[in-house]
Chains A and B, each alone.
Chain A
Amino acid sequence: MSNVPTDRKYARSHEWAREEADGTVQVGISDHAQQALGDLVFVEVPEVGRQLQQGDACAVVESVKAASDVYAPVAGTVVAVNEALSQSPELVNQDPYKAGWIMRLKPSAPLAGADLLEAADYATLAEAG
């Protein structure tokens, strides 16, 4: 049973997006996603300043046996990336919702309008498979 905090929204492709006080949106992958991938050995983060459409492949999480793309849950400009992941990709496994964040976006439209799931709906989706 994976952990799905209710203070953020989720994409069907297993990213989370949380609106910060300053209006930016923090993005990471869900606890369910990190469990499915297994121990991460590398995270490739996007360039700061890159403009993303919703659904753009913008980061890569690599485990020993797989590499998966991370898709932008909302459209926007990358304003910060988690530099700690270059040395410690395991942060995504250990703490996917806090220390394991991947990037922060300045959204080009309000988060409320994005086609994202509430925690309860994502939990159902994750449990189904």
Chain B
Amino acid sequence: MTTNRVLAFVALVLAAGAMVVGRPSTTPPGHIDVDRLAAMIAHEDDHVTAVELGTWLRDGKPGLRVIDVRPKADFDEYHLPHAENVPLPSIGKASFRPDETLVLYSDGGAHAAQAWVMLRSLGFTNVYFLRGGLGEWLDDVMTPMLPTDATPAEREAFRKIADLSTYFGGTPGVGPRPPASSTSEKVKAMRRRGC
């Protein structure tokens, strides 16, 4: 048997095996690999920060889709730039491609994190959620604050965040962080500013 015939035979056997097993993944759709997800959560590979997401949006990360899992009324009131509204109840019916990078967000982090688990169970691996939700976006990107007693390293880091903030029409400031207010109040404040 010549080398070509041996190689052809090996390719045919591997291809026939591929047809038998069907999918190039051991995890069937709808199955959750609990150990793997737990390890990802422990390594904090499951989420992105608001600044990371802002950088991806600004730099036009290929295949990025930002998904707002809140109800439509909340989405219409305020949402992140380029975000799409897929309310949580319809997340299983949404059309996502495996090679897309999906970033989910909600008001806090809980609903987006739950949607993350659902999409992972459907076999999507390039999925993240915004850790602190819309509140983190408003705090860290739209109204970042540089403490008055900041170190030079903190000032340098803040300069980049301030650039990012300005890009999205935010208002970086200097001073003590204002008292925490609820997300809905911040949203209303953003709307008053015309964002």
The yes or no verdict on A and B being binding partners is: no
A binding-site residues for B, Cβ under 8 Å: none
B binding-site residues for A, Cβ under 8 Å: none
